[in-house]
Amino acid sequence: MNFNTWFNELQTRTALNGGAGLVAFGQLLARLDNPQNPYQIIHVAGTNGKGTVCTLLARVLAAAGEKAGLFVSPHLILPTERIQLDSVEITPDDFINAVEKVLAHAQEPLNFFELITAAALVYFAEKEVSHVVLETGLGGRKDPTNVCMPVLSIITSIGLDHTQLLGNTLDQIAAEKAGIIKPGVPVLCGELLPAAARVVEETAREKNAPLEYVCVEKIPGNARAQNIGLVQRAAKMLGIPDDIICRGLKTVQLPGRFEIFKCAGKTIILDGAHNPPAVENLLARWQKTEFAGQRAAVLCGFMQDKDYPHMLRMLSACFKMGVVTAVDSPRAAKFFSSSRRVGVRDIEKFSLGPTIDILPPTWQFVHDVSAALARAQEQADVVLVTGSFYLVGAVRKWLI
């Protein structure tokens, strides 16, 4: 069995379990000799930007000569992208070995994310890293990464996402994200809306955790600047000099974040904007680029648990030409072709379940991703691929 087949089977099997929960997960780590304890952890939560902040900070730590581990999700192409050491992905054999060690000590059914979180912590302990930048999977309070005691907590942003699981108001979601705040541990935050800020500040006071905001000038599309500001401040708090911070940041090209390719005379831009706040930032950035004045189309696909009708409205207001496709995931939003075409503003009049048969005028649905990309390229000189990171990863695999 090859690694990808093994990984897919692992995902399918563990997805059937609700998970051990934080108490039992902590007990599992104890049986594994607490692999989360030997190194310094920087714990990162947020609605958007946490993967970027984690990757950038890990690169800066490596530039400073630290042996830095990185745990992020999801992956774009290969599962090994989720666990990295000094910017080098874990090998398939090491991945399998770490998972098997966890399973050998498991006395409870683990869900997929619990299993790979534990495997990552075991791997980092074996490699004797000095620091680990640890991204939450979902929320923060109940996330398996939250059993760790960090030296620094970071909350990048708080917006409406995963509302079925985290709550449908900003203060409810903020309470979940703020759940990573630990007693006495410093907290860095990006700019937050007042409702979210109140919850974070109250939690920080209760935990006696020093809280600092890192805010950049409020310009549409400046999410990258906000993320870089958080990384710079975090690195300074970890004792890294300015010149090394700058050098580390210059080494990074983030895959799937406004990544530009040339293909058959066309420009393909990949950006995994997977929720409405991310799409808003993407479109603001788009309007400031040379591509905004060119003949452009968008190719998109979404997860079912996302507010994809809202994202469709946002994208169709900017792009006359668009193609929607099916993401290869059991969680994907289901679309199908229909002769029925209605104005994008009329979408709100319909009750949208997991299947949607209405698209903006001039937009099309193409089920196969490769055919969908070809259709978008026929329509335009520039194609923006966005929405789910699973879609971005599938297209990127063909381009590299």
Round to whole Å and give the CA distance between 66 and 61. 5
| 271 and 254 Cβ atoms separated by less than 8 Å | no
Q: What is the DSSP-derived secondary structure letter of residue 284? A: H
Predicted pLDDT at 226: 87
Distances in Å between the Cα of 138 and the Cα atoms of 4, 82, 104, 321, 383 are 24, 15, 26, 33, 30
Structure tokens that stand for 154 in this block: 């970071």
| 164 and 305 Cβ atoms separated by less than 8 Å | yes
- Altogether, the residues listed in the chain come to a count of 400
Q: Write the CB contacts of 104 (distance below 8 Å, at least 6 apart in sequence).
A: none
| 145 and 35 Cβ atoms separated by less than 8 Å | no
| 45 and 155 Cβ atoms separated by less than 8 Å | yes
Residue whose structure tokens are 């075991």:
122
Q: Where are the alpha helices (DSSP H) in the chain?
A: 3-14, 22-31, 50-63, 92-105, 112-126, 163-166, 170-177, 194-206, 223-237, 242-250, 276-287, 308-318, 369-379, 389-399
The amino acid sitting at 292 is A
Per-residue pLDDT of the chain in tens (400 residues, 90 and over written 9): 689 889 888 887 766 567 889 999 999 999 999 999 999 999 999 988 899 999 999 999 999 999 999 999 888 888 999 999 998 999 999 999 999 999 999 998 899 999 999 999 999 999 999 999 999 998 899 999 999 999 999 999 988 655 455 556 888 899 999 999 999 999 999 988 899 999 999 999 999 999 999 987 656 556 778 899 999 999 999 999 999 999 999 877 788 888 999 988 899 999 988 888 889 889 999 999 999 989 999 999 988 777 888 888 899 999 999 999 888 776 667 664 443 333 333 333 333 344 444 567 788 888 888 999 999 999 999 999 999 888 998 899 888 7
| Nearest alpha-carbon partner for 321 in 295, 340, 294 | 295
CA dihedral 337, 342, 347, 352 (to 10 degrees): -30
Structure tokens that stand for 214 in this block: 């890192």
